């Protein structure tokens, strides 16, 4: 199943428009979002660390696990997508851990550090009978396992657009 790149671009544009409207309502938010890029901020040059990512796929509101969902981790925009890895979920709706390059954890030890101490990855989740789900900018830290929860919405004739979000959780093993 191939992702429709025009839909990807449409939702990135929508997210940027939503951010612009929020900034119009509250200009103080500009400091919080300065130097951010919805699609994919540039990576730090040193990616010698490794972080892990587990994706937990369930039906909406987390009621039932979605087994055999295809989870694709990628970087870049729709026009320049670089697929990093693909895995399927098990009976519990979870993927095995993706091991992903990340900046070394030593970057988090100095308050004077100006280099971003984490890497960004995008996640596409596809499952038969469900609307595709895209999560942007999941952060991966060296030595940390991040958990991305994905709630899949059943497909119907009226609502077949991808679900887009940028939420994630982190926990350390």
| DSSP-assigned letters across all residues of 81-147 | -EEEEEEE--TTSBPPPEEEEE--GGGGG-TT--S--SEEEEEEEE-TTB--EEEEEEEE-TT-EEE
Residue 27 belongs to some domain of the structure = no
Residue 101 belongs to some domain of the structure = yes
For position 106, what pLDDT does the model report? 86
Q: How many domains does the chain have?
A: 1
Residue 18 belongs to some domain of the structure = no
For position 115, what pLDDT does the model report? 80
For position 31, what pLDDT does the model report? 45
For position 51, what pLDDT does the model report? 95
For position 54, what pLDDT does the model report? 97
Residue 25 belongs to some domain of the structure = no
What's the CA gap between 156 and 169, in Å, rounded?
Answer: 29
* pTM > 0.75: yes or no: no
Residue 29 belongs to some domain of the structure = no
For residue 133, what are the domain limits? 48-171
Residue 108 belongs to some domain of the structure = yes
For position 110, what pLDDT does the model report? 78
For position 116, what pLDDT does the model report? 82
pLDDT in tens, the chain (173 residues): 455 566 667 666 776 776 677 667 666 555 444 434 333 344 556 888 999 999 999 998 778 999 999 999 998 765 577 899 999 999 999 999 999 999 998 887 878 777 888 888 999 999 999 988 888 889 999 999 999 999 998 887 565 555 566 555 444 44
For position 136, what pLDDT does the model report? 85
Residue 34 belongs to some domain of the structure = no
Which CATH number do you get for residue 151? 2.60.40.1120
CA dist 54 → 3, 17, 42, 147, 151 (Å): 21, 30, 23, 5, 14
Residue 118 belongs to some domain of the structure = yes
């Amino acid at each position: 199943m191939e992702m429709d790149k025009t839909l990807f671009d449409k939702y990135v544009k929508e997210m940027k428009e939503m951010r612009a409207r929020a900034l119009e309502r509250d200009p103080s938010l500009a400091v919080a979002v300065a130097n951010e890029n919805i699609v994919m901020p540039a990576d730090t040059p040193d990616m010698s660390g490794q972080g892990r990512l587990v994706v937990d796929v369930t039906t909406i509101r987390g009621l039932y696990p979605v087994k055999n969902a295809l989870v694709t981790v990628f970087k870049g925009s729709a026009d320049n997508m670089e697929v990093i890895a693909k895995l399927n979920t098990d009976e519990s709706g979870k993927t095995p851990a993706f091991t992903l390059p990340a900046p070394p954890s030593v970057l988090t030890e100095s308050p004077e550090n100006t280099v971003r101490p984490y890497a960004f990855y995008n996640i596409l989740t596809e499952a038969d009978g469900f609307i595709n789900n895209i999560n942007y900018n999941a952060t991966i830290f060296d030595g940390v396992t991040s958990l991305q929860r994905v709630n899949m919405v059943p497909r119907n004739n009226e609502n077949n657009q991808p679900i887009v979000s940028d939420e994630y959780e982190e926990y350390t093993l």
